[in-house]
Every structure is written in structure tokens, then in C-alpha cells.
Amino acid sequence: MPPRQREPRRGPGGPARPAAPPAVTRPAALALVTLLSFASRFHRLREPPHVCWDETHFGKMGSYYINRTFFFDVHPPLGKMLIGLAGYLSGYDGTFPFQKPGDRYEQHNYVGMRGFCAFLGSCLVPFAYLTVLELSKSLPAALLTAFILIFDTGCITLSQYILLDPILMFFLMGAVLSMVKCNSCADRPFSASWWFWLSLTGVSLAGAMGVKFVGLFVVLLVGLNTIYDLWDLLGNLSLSLVMFGKHLLARVLCLIIIPLALYTAMFAVHFAVLNRSGPGDGFFSSAFQSQLIGNNLHNVSVPEHLAYGSVVTMKNLRMAGGYLHSHWHLYPEGVGARQQQVTAYLHKDLNNLWIIKKHDSDTDLSDPSSPVEFVRHGDIIRLEHKETSRNLHSHQHEAPLTRKHFQVTGYGINGTGDSNDFWRIEVVGRRTGQLIKVLRSQVRLTHVATGCILGSSGKTLPKWGWEQVEVTCTPYLKETPNSLWNFEDHINPKLPNISLDVLKPSFAEILLESHMVMIRGNSGLKPKDNEVTSKPWHWPINYQGLRFSGVNETDYRVYLLGNPVIWWLNLVTIGLYLLITVATAVALKRGVQLTSELKELSRVVLRAGGQITLGWLLHYLPFFMMGRVLYFHHYFPAMLFSSMLTGITWDALLKFCAGFLSPSTTARKVYGGGFLALVLLILYSFYLFHPLSYGMIGPMASHPSSPMAGLRWMDSWEF
């Protein structure tokens, strides 16, 4: 008997899919929504002709790529690389500084970068349309979804500026569409179309992860879909184990190996392009910095072994731990002893320089006639700050931020202090008396008087500490990167030099280090004073927006806020979907015989909406567990899923309501009238709120003469 053909993909217990809409109408509808999407995103793209919100970050990073200048960001590189490429291809020369929001672009060509983001943001509408069409086989459901996204003011605003969000959502929706298309080819495994959509899913996953780490959420969505798919195949008794193995290997290749290879290649390109020293150097290890053209460690020679009288910088081995640093400012009243601040600083600076001295001698070791004395493992030393001539000092006052750690200060006058300035230098894994190597030796400094160990806590000091990193002396002797240092710069004219080429790290080491730095950077993103942030529960209700441009009535104001009617309709739909799901489950459990109309409603909504709802949950719930600073725009990937769910659910509800009517012409009129009412409501709300996206000038909404008067429906809206 020939093997059984696999049935089309369905939800658990669901029947086969409904018939597709007429083939003639679909291309015309797709062309219409695509045209409207591009028109809405490219309208007034040049306005305002100045830097808006986070353009100051991502536009600047695009410039860094054009100038090949190394920088650090908490996100993977793909989005910024694509912005830089778009700028380069459109004639932008990378010279605009992007210093702060409000800076005018003048003669600089910024439209290419905005246009690239607007292009990707415009693609979200046809992607969502095709996804819903594939899941529900309902053209009206797909059209309703498209209209929701076309006329949402928030989606328009987020697509019109030099930001990572439209790039992230492009790859996210590309992955979802490819996954759904691949599922529809389940009855034709290993066909050309099946391979194409499966491979494109993997490529899109790599793109989403390469833009932001929250791309992991769509990776999880595709992963759960794949597990369900493989479980379904495993339960097919007509499928041999050899064939199941082929299915498994195909998914490993397309959904694991290809994405990982592409993701790794992005970083290879990133490091190859950014080969010049820049503002991101200090976040990375000395070995990495030695590969950057223009860095003080690049192609230079330094003395190999540490000696008394040497001028050095010390870098903490914690990722982004910073350089040991001091400056003339004192700790404020009430923060330990009112002595000179000692911090860790992430950038190159003259205040990072220290002179190594003997603990019991003030002999001028810079005299060329004096003999060279090397520093050895186990020696007791003093570190004198070169700029202020105060010694590195600790005592039993509590550290500024870390409880039960001791404060570290700069103390003394012209190198003269007390016994609390003495530190024992120890090299990890060395024996007493051995020499200390620059860059390669990992050392710890133990405070002689208290026995504590010098370290960087990783905590950011308040404004009085210039938001630099706290340095403490920890009485806990556990060995961690926080309490380990290496000597980076080393100046001593009496010693011979060696080349630093021996420190060249491998690509695998660079890749690992970059991810450790990004992860730590993400976890360290905390809200600053007077910064507008939001909480996840604010987002679905459209509680508070974000100012993109302008703060008063004379400014050109752009305000990121979702179309209220659309967002509240989405919120109601989520509740309806959950209600339908629970009611159906209870009815089935109790053996209730459902009408054919209710069966149809439940089947379409549960089957088509299940994957969409899972996508919404995966892109929303994790933010409740994040400790980092959060903003309103973080919800927009989840908003894409809730919009698709709205299209599917309301189409099914209208069909259900119309199903009770006869004749069929009356049912069609009711269905068509309901659909038209939803579309007109969306259009009218867009008409009211479109100035949020395209710019407002004049009095604020609270003023009676404002064009937005009466539209500030919530006190938390600030337009």
C-alpha cells in the first residue's frame, strides 16, 4: 500500500482548512495595501529636518561604520550596519555628529537612512496581510489586519526615523510569514517551495537576532512550532524513521546551522569594518584593543616586565569593568571619608595613569642613573596618581554603593600618605618573586592593613561620581574578574620594549568577549534622572507615548502614540479571544453540542489565532521579568501579533453573527456592513490622530485653540 500523504497542517483536533479566497482578488488586494503602506510611511519623510529621539544614537552609529570607527552598543551589529550601508549608498558622508535631538541636518543627506527604515517598515503591512491570509484563508481578515497596521500612528512614526525597530520588525515578520508558508507546504515536504520557506525562516531568524537580542522571542516561537511539527511527524505511523531523520536534519540545517552561520558572519563583517580606534575601545580587553588602528596599543612596543617608577594604567578584567581612575573631585559629605574619588572609567584618559612606587621609599626612580628594580609577585607597593600625586588608599569606611565593602580613595599630599596606602601585588598562578608581565599577567591588589581586595563592583555612581563605575575594596576573598586587573599602558624609558603582536586574540575570543560586554551593557541600562520610562502594563492600553521631537508650541512636535481606537480594539480582541478559547474548552469538556456556526468560529479563531496569540505572549510577557530600563516602543513587536489576531477574530465574529440571518443576501449585507464600519472607524480615528505622526505645530492639546484640542483622552498623553 503506498504511504499516506500528510494532511495539511492544522491545530490539535481541527478540521481541514477552508477554501482560499478567489485568486483574482488577492494580487489586487495585496497591491492596494502595499501601496497604502508605502504612501503612509514615506509621506513627509524629510520632516522634521533635524535629529529626532534615538536618531542621535543609531544615526551616529551608522556614521561610525562609514568612517570605520570602533564603537560599543548593547545590541548586535546588523541593524546599525544596514543603516550605515543605506547612508553610504545614498550619498551620506558620515560627517554629521548626531550630538543631540534637535540638531539640524542642514546640507547632510539623512533621507537615505530614513528612507531605508521606512521601506522596511512599509513591508510589515504586506507581510502581516500574507500571514493572516495564509492562516485564515480569509481575504477580509487579511485586509482588516492590513488597514489596522497602515493607519496606526505608532507604526507610522516608528518607521519614519533612523531606528532599529523597523529593521527588527521586518525580520521578525519575515520569520513568522516564512514559518506559516512552510507549514502550508507540509503536504509537500522537501519540495522546492518547502525548502525555500524553511531556509528563509532561518535567514529571518538570523536577521532578527542580529538586530536586537529580543529577536530571541521569535526564535522561541519558531522553535515551539518546529517541536510541535516534529512531534506531529513522529506520531505519523506511516512515516519511516529514516524519513523522520531527514525532516529533523533539514530543520537543524535551516533553523540552527544557517542562522548561527549568518549571525557569526555579521560579527566577522562588523569587526572587519570597524578597524579604527574609537569611543568603544575601553569596553574591551587590552588584547582586543591592540588590533585597532589608532589605538595606543596598536603596533606599539612596551616594556615587558613591570618595574618601580613605571607609569601604568590598570584595566579591570570584568567585562566593561573600566580603568582604575581618579580625579580632583572629592566624595560628597556623608559618603565615607571626604577624600579624593577613585573610580573605574571606561574611556582612555590621563587620569587613568598611576606611578608604581616602593611602599617604604620616596626615591626618584625616574633618574636615568638609578638602577632598574622590577616589581615581583608578593611585593608591597604604593600606587601614586600621576595627575594629583595622591596615593591609592582604603580604610574601613563603607563603600558608596556596595554594602560591607570598603571605600577606596586618593589620599596624601605629593605622594606622602600613611600605611593605608600599602598594597600587596599578587599574580594569579604565580610563585613569590616572579616578575609581572604587562598585559598578560592577571593581578590582584590586597590591602595590607585590612586584607581586602581592590575591585570594580560594576555599579554606576550617581552624578557626583560622574556616572563612572564604583571601585571598592572587598573583604570577601573569592576570586572573580571584578577583583582582577592587568597592566595595559606601561611607560618606562629605562626598559627595553617588546611587540604587542603576541596578544592578538582569535575571532572566537573576540566573539565571546563582545557578547559578554553586550549582555552586561544591557543589564546595566537603568533609568536616568528625569528620564521618561514606562512599565509593561502601560503598553497595551496606550497609556503613555514618547516625544520624538519638540516640547513646546513653537516646535514641530512628533509624538509616538498608537492610534487609540486601534490599540483599544486590539486589547478588547485579546480578551475576546481568551473568552472564546475558555468557552470552547468548557463546552467540549461538558459534551455540549455546538452549532455549526459556533464550530466554524471556534475552529478558525483557535487554529489561526493560536500561533498569533502565542507570538503576542512571547513578545510581551518576558518584559515583566526584565530589570533593565523599558520604553513604550518595546511593545510594538507584540502589537503586530495583536493586530493580526484582531483581523482574524473580528472577521470570524462577523461571519458568526451573519450566519444567523437569511437569506444569504441579508447575511452578506450584515457582514459587509460590520466590516465597513470597522474600517471607517479606523480611518476616522487616523484622520483625528494623524498629526501625532506627521507633525503638530501650535498650542498644546490642552489649549482650546489647538488643532488637537479634545483629543487628549488620557491625562498621561503629553502632546
Rg over CA atoms, the chain: 31
> What are the strands, taking DSSP E only, across 514-557?
546-549
Amino acid present at 471: V
Mean pLDDT value of segment 557-585:
89
Long-range contacts of 544-548 (CB under 8 A, 24+ apart): 544/632, 544/716, 544/717, 544/718, 545/154, 545/632, 545/692, 545/717, 545/718, 545/719, 546/53, 546/631, 546/632, 546/633, 547/53, 547/718, 548/52, 548/53, 548/157, 548/161
**Angle, CA of 61, 64 and 65, to the nearest 5°:** 95
CA dist., res. 623 & res. 631, Å (int): 10
Percent of the chain whose predicted confidence (pLDDT) is above 70: 91
CA dist., res. 434 & res. 443, Å (int): 12
Q: How far is CA 142 from CA 16, 223, 568, 643, in A?
A: 19, 25, 19, 10
Q: What per-residue confidence (pLDDT) applies to 215?
A: 94
pLDDT tops 60 at residue 613:
yes
- Cell digits for 327? 580625579
Place 530 in a pLDDT band, splitting at 50, 70 and 90. Answer: low
Cβ neighbours for 369, distance < 8 A, ≥ 6 positions apart: none
Sign of the CA dihedral running 659, 664, 670, 673:
positive
pLDDT tops 50 at residue 425:
yes
Q: What per-residue confidence (pLDDT) applies to 538?
A: 93
**pLDDT by residue (tens digit) across 306-347?**
999 999 999 998 766 789 999 999 999 989 899 999 999 988
DSSP 647-665: HHHHHHHHHHHHTT-SSHH
The winner for highest mean pLDDT among 236-240, 322-326, 459-463, 525-529 is 322-326
| Nearest in space to 340 (alpha carbons), one of 352, 349, 328 | 328
Quick check: 5 and 187 in contact, CB under 8 A? Answer: yes
Q: Mean pLDDT over all residues of the chain?
A: 87
| Nearest in space to 186 (alpha carbons), one of 229, 249, 146, 219 | 229
**pLDDT by residue (tens digit) across 126-156?**
999 999 999 988 899 999 999 999 999 999 9
Quick check: 219 and 205 in contact, CB under 8 A? Answer: yes
Place 9 in a pLDDT band, splitting at 50, 70 and 90. Answer: very low
Q: How many CB atoms lie within 10 A of CB 214?
A: 19
Amino acid present at 259: P
| Nearest in space to 616 (alpha carbons), one of 589, 648, 586, 593 | 648
Which pTM was predicted? 0.82
Quick check: 110 and 56 in contact, CB under 8 A? Answer: no
Q: What per-residue confidence (pLDDT) applies to 594?
A: 65
**pLDDT by residue (tens digit) across 20-31?**
455 556 889 999
- Element (DSSP H or E) covering residue 394: strand 391-398
Q: How many CB atoms lie within 10 A of CB 542?
A: 25
pLDDT tops 90 at residue 274:
yes
CA dist., res. 268 & res. 270, Å (int): 5
CA dist., res. 642 & res. 10, Å (int): 21
Q: What per-residue confidence (pLDDT) applies to 1?
A: 36
* Backbone torsions φ then ψ of 660, nearest 5 degrees: -85, -5
Mean pLDDT value of segment 412-424:
90
378: left (phi over 0), alpha (psi -120 to 50) or beta: left
- Strands 323-330 and 485-491 turn out to be unpaired
**pLDDT by residue (tens digit) across 639-670?**
999 999 999 999 888 887 777 666 677 878 88
DSSP 315-343: EESSTT--EEEEEEEEPPTTSSSS-EEEE
Quick check: 125 and 33 in contact, CB under 8 A? Answer: yes
Query: To the nearest 10°, the Cα dihedral for 50, 52, 58, 59?
Result: 0
Mean pLDDT value of segment 551-580:
89
DSSP 3-state assignment of 565?
A: helix
Q: What per-residue confidence (pLDDT) applies to 21?
A: 54
Quick check: 530 and 296 in contact, CB under 8 A? Answer: no
* Backbone torsions φ then ψ of 96, nearest 5 degrees: -75, 135
pLDDT tops 80 at residue 237:
yes
